[in-house]
């Protein structure tokens, strides 16, 4: 598998097949048509024979209704836009230290911190009845 990843390919194939259960247009050819790539290229990505380009990852994420970050992680890559943001940050050393710290956090903790950030930015959804208020965390 020169250049490709069987794990990533299997992940894409699983996502596509789940979509296909409800929408027959999610064959390899149908997905390729939706994202403007050749069916051969999509097939080779799924088989782990070729790596997905960054642009292909963005297109696949949109069509398969997952975040590009999820697919980049499965591919063992970092979104190039995120790399640029980290490099352009006023304190890249602190940003890198933050990311190293965050990598050891549980999903529950990451979700809690995301709610706190959303609240600080005014983007927090209204808590449902019985949900913990972000400000009380």
Whether residue 90 is found in the same domain as residue 105? yes
**What value, to the nearest 5°, has the Cα angle with vertex 16 and ends 10 and 17?**
85
- Higher-confidence position of 13 and 94: 13
Distance (Å, whole) CA 42 – CA 48 = 10
CATH number for the domain spanning 21: value is 1.10.260.40
Cα-trace Rg, the chain: 18
State which of 33, 57, 78 marks the end of a domain: 78
Q: Where are the alpha helices (DSSP H) in 21-88?
A: 28-35, 39-46, 54-64, 68-74, 80-88
Which tens digit of pLDDT belongs to each residue from 51-80? 999 999 999 999 999 999 999 989 888 888
Range of the domain at 131: 82-136
Distance (Å, whole) CA 34 – CA 106 = 35
In-domain check, residue 103: yes
In-domain check, residue 73: yes
**pLDDT at position 100 over 50:** yes
Whether residue 10 is found in the same domain as residue 61? yes
Whether residue 72 is found in the same domain as residue 102? no
Whether residue 106 is found in the same domain as residue 92? yes
Q: Report the number of distinct structural domains present in the chain.
A: 2
Q: Name the 3-class secondary structure at 50.
A: coil
């Amino acid at each position: 598998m020169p250049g490709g990843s069987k794990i990533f390919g299997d992940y894409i194939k699983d996502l596509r097949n789940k979509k296909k259960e409800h929408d027959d247009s999610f064959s390899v050819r149908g997905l390729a048509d939706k994202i403007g790539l050749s069916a051969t290229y999509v097939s080779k990505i799924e088989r782990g024979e070729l790596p997905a380009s960054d642009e292909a990852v963005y297109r696949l994420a949109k069509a398969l209704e997952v975040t590009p970050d999820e697919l980049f992680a499965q591919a063992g890559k970092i979104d190039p836009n995120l790399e640029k943001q980290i490099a352009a940050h006023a304190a890249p050393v602190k940003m890198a230290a933050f990311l190293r710290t965050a990598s050891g956090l549980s999903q529950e903790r990451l979700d809690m911190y995301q709610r706190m950030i959303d609240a600080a930015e005014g983007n927090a959804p209204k808590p449902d009845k019985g949900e913990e208020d972000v400000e009380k965390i």
